[in-house]
Amino acid sequence: MTRADAAPGGNKVLLSPARRIKNLLMGGLILLATLLVVAPLILIFAYLLREGVGALNADFFTKTPAPEGETGGGLLNAITGSLTMLGMASVIGVVVGVAGGIFLAEYPRHPLMPTIRMLSDVLAGIPAIVMGLVAYGLIVLTFGFSGLAGALALGFLMIPIVVRTTEEVLKLVPHTVREAGMALGLPQWLVILKIVLPAAAGGIVTGVMLALARVAGEAAPLLFTAFGNPNVNLNPLEPMSALPLEIYRGATSAYDENQRMAKAGALLLISLIFVTSLLARRFSRR
Amino acid sequence: MTQPTNPQPTNPQPTTTPPSRARLSSRSDRAFELVILALSSIIVLVFVLSLYLLGKESWPALQRFGLEFFTQRTWNPVNSQFGAAAMIAGTLVTSLVALIISVPLAIASALFVAEYAPKWLANPVGYLIELLAAVPSVVYGLWALFVVAPILGRWQTSFFVNPENLQLLTRCQDLWNNNQTTLQCFFVPPSASGRGLALAIVILTVMILPYTASVARDVIRLVPQDQREAMYALGATKWEVISRAILPYARAGIMGGVILALGRALGETLAVAMVIGDSQDILKSIWGNASTMASVIANQFGDAQETLHRSSVVTLGFALFFLSVLVNFVARLVIARLTPQGIK
């Protein structure tokens, strides 16, 4: 962006001291406020690095939590649980989200379009814990606590994010490209699948990664769906642990060892999320 | 955000296939459209299911207490007496106070990124602010619990636990035991743990900052360059340009960001649940324990065995659902009403 600092030295003579002081004061306040805004992030990251990096050893990645009050152990159960649930959640999030994005971008005159756009916006605003209650009513009441219920809650949370980004990148694909496809005699669905979607693939991947980064840290909807599990479990119909769940349990636990695990888990989780967000942004910049 | 008009009025692909292409592709196009429509309908299904399941589960509580559920102050699982007024108050107070603190900070940081910082600094600072939104709620909770709470606790000790204040403390204690408070006692901590309403507000402030900040930054960048140049040409200082040309122009967009942040604040769960102290009494002190609707769901739903208790907790979720829909709706309305052409 070009800057229009068109107040060169000559003008300053005309400025009354009150105006000049006010200008400097507000500039200083804005700088101060920005430092205040950024400070927590740096403080949190530094704290987790200092406290958690020591616990990120081989045991952390290969063992399950030690019994209460004992030392040692790791968070293998949480890592596998998080990966399994995120994998299942992204199936729901990607299929429904991308389809919804295609619908909103490519069929703007369909009578159902305003409804789906509005409901997708509404879903985006629903608190994660309420989604947990929904997944509880949907699955847990009949089948019991399970990784599947947790994945469903996370998948529902992913849908609106993927819909929004897919719709926006599809609209960025120039119309001439579509027209060229049409001119070749391709039916509309082939134009969408073979020309528009590949052109927008980068943006869609970004959206999916951002959605994953967002739900990977959610613990609230997992409290009473996936529930947590001290052992490694890959069966989606059984209770499953997840990194944010173990962080929550550890942080609110009275045992030092659990707190130490929570800090290491938080460091791992926050690093993964930061890397994913930064990669996603890099990806979309290209 | 929605656009009121169709963004591509000259869309060359009408949904009803023109006659010339009908022979070639109408059948496969129709099939594809149906598949897409069916998958998109899952969005509608999720919404309807949410409404149905939450409604069904909260029915016993609503039937038993009626609308008094939202005005009664007692929340007592032992006597099966459930009223949500204290949590509703907790939710509103934490969210609104956090909003009031965070909005000026967010706008200032957006101005810094968009107007003050040179490009090499603006991008990293913008990243950092966005990463603030990526930090999970539990991690904020962990940090608040282990780092901020002890600091607040020390402040409370040093400000309130000295001989002349101890008298005040005991007087307030008596008041609180009778479920009352005075303005003076409202600022006295019941215990020096650092946890409670104030810490929840602090942590919520940090959590919702990036939502307002990133929306504000985007709309400030969309303010036409002419506006700025015209003001500078008249001899305005940078602050005068910002306060009279930029902020008024961007106010609708910023308002949208503020309401978005409010929606986040209302539903924020674990960080708040970890630090607010989980007390179902109505607010007695700014430092005291309290609870929000979301924190009660997180803390009590797992333990709620009895139907009425469980149903009451779900009713809180149902109310939160409506609140978030309402806030979302208002945000869209505000943006549609106030947005000048060209700024989303």
Residue environment code for B238-253, b if the CB has 16+ CB neighbours within 10 A, otherwise e: bbbbbeebbbebbebb
Range of the domain at B154: 85-293
**pLDDT 10s digit of each residue in chain A, 286 long?**
344 444 444 445 567 889 999 999 999 999 999 999 999 999 999 999 999 998 888 989 998 888 877 888 889 999 999 999 999 999 999 999 999 999 999 999 999 999 999 999 999 999 999 999 999 999 999 999 999 999 999 999 999 999 999 999 999 999 898 899 889 888 889 999 999 999 999 899 999 999 999 999 999 999 999 999 999 999 999 999 999 999 999 999 988 889 999 999 999 999 999 999 988 887 776 5
How far is Cα B135 from Cα A133, in angstroms, rounded to an integer?
A: 23
Partner-chain contact A130 B143, CB within 8 Å: no
Partner-chain contact A266 B314, CB within 8 Å: no
Long-range CB contacts (within 8 A, 24+) of B245-251: B246/B111, B246/B115, B246/B220, B247/B107, B249/B223, B249/B224, B249/B340, B250/B216, B250/B219, B250/B220, B250/B222, B250/B223, B250/B343, B251/B338
Q: Please check whether residue B315 lies inside any domain of the structure.
A: no
Domain CATH number, residue B101: 1.10.3720.10
Chain A residues touching residue B145 (CB < 8 angstroms): 251-252
Task: Give the number of domains in chain B.
Answer: 1
Chain A residues touching residue B37 (CB < 8 angstroms): 103, 107, 110, 112
If you compute the radius of gyration of chain A from its CA atoms, what whole number of angstroms results? 24
ipTM metric: 0.91
What pTM, to 2 d.p., does this model score? 0.89
Q: Please check whether residue B300 lies inside any domain of the structure.
A: no
Q: Please check whether residue B57 lies inside any domain of the structure.
A: no
Question: In the CATH scheme, what is the code of domain A83-284?
Answer: 1.10.3720.10
B49 in contact with chain A, both atoms CB, cutoff 8 A:
yes
Q: Evaluate whether B309 touches B64 at the Cβ level (below 8 Å).
A: no
Q: How far is CA B240 from CA B209, B213, B224, in A?
A: 25, 21, 16
Taking the CA of residue A16 and the nearest CA in chain B, the distance in Å comes to 11
Tokens standing for residue A143 = 């089948």
Residue B232 neighbours by CB under 8 Å, 6+ apart: A4, A5, A6, A7, B241
B239 in contact with chain A, both atoms CB, cutoff 8 A:
yes
Residue B331 neighbours by CB under 8 Å, 6+ apart: B256, B259, B260, B263
A108 in contact with chain B, both atoms CB, cutoff 8 A:
yes
Chain A residues touching residue B240 (CB < 8 angstroms): 19, 23
B28 in contact with chain A, both atoms CB, cutoff 8 A:
yes
Amino acid at B62: L
- How does pLDDT run across A78-93, given as a tens digit for each residue? 999 999 999 999 999 9
DSSP β-bridge partners for residue B76 = B81
Backbone angles phi, psi at B90, to 5 degrees: -60, -45
Residue B300 neighbours by CB under 8 Å, 6+ apart: B77, B309, B313
Partner-chain contact B314 A188, CB within 8 Å: no
Q: How far is CA A8 from CA A13, B84, B113, B238, in A?
A: 10, 60, 22, 12
Res. B283 pLDDT band, cuts 50 70 90: confident
Backbone angles phi, psi at A68, to 5 degrees: -50, 130
Q: Checking DSSP bridges between strand B75-76 and strand B81-82, what pairing results, if any? A: antiparallel
Q: Please check whether residue B319 lies inside any domain of the structure.
A: no
Q: Please check whether residue B302 lies inside any domain of the structure.
A: no
Q: Please check whether residue B310 lies inside any domain of the structure.
A: no
How far is Cα A45 from Cα A275, in angstroms, rounded to an integer?
A: 13
Cα end-to-end span (Å), chain A: 19
Q: Please check whether residue B32 lies inside any domain of the structure.
A: no
Q: Please check whether residue B19 lies inside any domain of the structure.
A: no
Chain A residues touching residue B108 (CB < 8 angstroms): 29-30, 33-34, 37
Question: What is the count of residue pairs from A and B with beta carbons less than 8 Å apart?
Answer: 309
A19 in contact with chain B, both atoms CB, cutoff 8 A:
yes
Taking the CA of residue B155 and the nearest CA in chain A, the distance in Å comes to 19
DSSP β-bridge partners for residue B82 = B75
Chain B residues touching residue A220 (CB < 8 angstroms): 137, 269-270, 294, 298
